[in-house]
């Protein structure tokens, strides 16, 4: 099944490849419509002309232990950008906590390649995490927050992000095993929620995916 939504990036024209030259490849992971009309999706070159299902199946073989959760009480525009970054880090799941409908514009359909769970309340989300034995790591600059840069992040965990402006809810803070803050050095009280999400995911990756931290014997 090919994707019906094709859109440009935020600041550049649509990129990709045109129709595939014939004879077409016959492997099952190729999408006939994309081979015929071209593939201008926001995917790596290795996935050009692949079906969505084939890409997801391949990504499922190498998902990382990190999961991402986002509180959604106000239809925050930043949620889509956080989901897109979660795709870039190939997290094992994304959780939307609160309203089921969320603003997907910033995701640029990258959510199609992820497992997305919905939890109507923070309590439901906490129950799910407890069953999976997953610690919840909050990301927000609160008085109780510890420094992200010096924290030892669990390999299996779910990072919880709040809303732009409002930050994490009191209920969200209460279910976290720890809340971490990104050090800031300017005058602004807080940075954009999607930027904070990218920094936090990168911090996790530097601890658990960085080859220099795991030298070969």
pLDDT for res 214: 58
pLDDT digits (tens, 9 = 90+) for 5-24: 545 555 556 678 999 999 99
In sequence order, what are the residues at sequence separation of 6 or more whose Cβ sits closer than 8 angstroms to the Cβ of residue 108?
7, 9, 42, 80, 84
pLDDT for res 216: 54
Instruction: Please report, for the chain, the start and end positions of each structural domain, with discontinuous segments joined by +.
Output: 9-62, 63-211
**Share above pLDDT 90 across residues of the chain, in percent, rounded to a whole number:** 76
CATH fold of 63-211, please? Alpha/beta knot (3.40.1280)
> Considering all CA atoms of the chain, what is the largest pairwise distance in Å, rounded to the nearest integer?
63
Q: Name the more confident of 213 and 203.
A: 203
Cβ distance 110 to 42 under 8 Å?
Answer: yes
Q: CA 49, 54, 58 angle in degrees (round to 5)?
A: 115
83-101 mean pLDDT: 96
106: which 2 tokens? 């910033």
pLDDT for res 129: 98
pLDDT for res 9: 52
pLDDT digits (tens, 9 = 90+) for 32-84: 999 999 999 989 999 999 999 999 999 999 999 999 999 998 867 789 999 99
34: which 2 tokens? 């994309």
Specify whether the backbone of 177 is left (phi greater than 0), alpha (psi in -120 to 50) or beta: alpha
pLDDT band at 86 (very low <50, low <70, confident <90, very high): very high
**Alpha carbons 83 and 42: distance in angstroms, whole number:** 14
């Amino acid at each position: 099944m090919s994707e019906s939504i094709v859109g440009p990036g935020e600041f550049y024209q649509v990129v990709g490849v045109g129709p595939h030259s014939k004879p077409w490849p016959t492997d099952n992971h190729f999408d006939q419509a994309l081979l015929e009309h071209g593939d201008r999706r926001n995917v790596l070159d290795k996935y050009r002309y692949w079906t969505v299902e084939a890409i997801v199946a391949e990504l499922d073989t190498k998902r990382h232990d990190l999961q991402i959760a986002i509180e959604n009480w106000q239809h925050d525009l930043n949620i889509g950008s956080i989901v897109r970054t979660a795709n870039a880090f190939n997290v094992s799941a994304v959780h939307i906590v609160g309203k089921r409908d969320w603003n997907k514009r910033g995701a640029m359909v990258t959510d199609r390649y992820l497992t997305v769970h919905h939890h109507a309340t923070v309590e439901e989300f906490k129950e799910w995490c407890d069953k999976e034995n997953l610690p919840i790591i909050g990301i927000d600059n609160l008085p109780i927050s510890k420094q992200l840069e010096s924290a030892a992040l669990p390999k299996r965990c779910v990072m919880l992000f709040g809303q732009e402006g409002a930050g994490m809810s009191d209920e969200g803070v209460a279910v976290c095993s720890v809340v971490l803050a990104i050090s800031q050095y300017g005058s602004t009280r807080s940075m954009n929620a999607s930027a904070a999400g990218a920094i936090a995911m990168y911090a996790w990756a530097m601890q658990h995916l960085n080859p220099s931290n795991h030298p070969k014997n």
